[in-house]
Amino acid sequence: MLLDLKEVFQNEGLQKQVDYSLSMNDIELDGVYPFKTPVNICALSVNRASLVDLEIKVNFLYTRNCDRCFEEYSREMNYTFKHKLAVTLADDENDDYIETPDYKLELDDLVISDIILNLPSKNLCKEDCKGLCQKCGKNLNEGDCNCDKRQVDSRLEILKELIN
């Protein structure tokens, strides 16, 4: 969505709000398409002393496989992103402001990059996920397996023969 902010930039104290949905179902992350439903977006721009504050609130359903047990899970995600917009910047290396020389901002690109940069780096179905048994592969969240939990260093296997 192309957001036209000319009126907001030219009138101090003016606010402009847009609400819309953005489909991100074609975005692939690590071989998975985790955005099964559209992202709901509410963007509010406010002029404050010739600079525009932009607040973007998003919520969406995020579907992934757990990194420990590989079970698919879905979680509702809610984020709020804040940006400062300026018509021109004196310094090209200023990352605190987004330059909008024609008073227009491509909101979709900004939202997509904000979401992707804020997604969790480790995907867990729950905080205390126990994962899979390293021997039999059973999902330990569903119960314990009957595998021998003792770990023997393979270099000491010869000593085990001496005991027997």
- Rounded Cα distance between 117 and 104, Å, is 23
158 belongs to a structural domain: no
How does the average pLDDT of the chain come out, rounded?
88
Compare 87 and 84 and report the one with higher pLDDT. Answer: 84
153 belongs to a structural domain: no
DSSP 35: B
pLDDT tens digits, one per residue of 30-55: 888 999 999 999 999 998 877 889 99
pLDDT reported for residue 154: 73
94 belongs to a structural domain: yes
135 belongs to a structural domain: no
Number of structural domains (the chain) is 1
- Rounded Cα distance between 81 and 72, Å, is 27
Per-residue pLDDT at 76 exceeds 90: yes
Q: Which own/partner contact pairs does 102-106 have at CB distance under 8 Å and 24+ positions apart? A: 103/4, 103/5, 103/6, 103/9, 104/2, 104/3, 104/4, 104/5, 104/6, 105/2, 105/3, 105/5, 105/54, 106/1, 106/2, 106/3
pLDDT tens digits, one per residue of 122-160: 999 999 999 998 888 889 888 888 887 776 677 777 777
39 belongs to a structural domain: yes
Tokens 């439903």 found at: 37
- What's the pLDDT band for 5 if we cut at 50, 70, 90? confident
**Which range of residues forms the domain containing residue 106?**
2-129
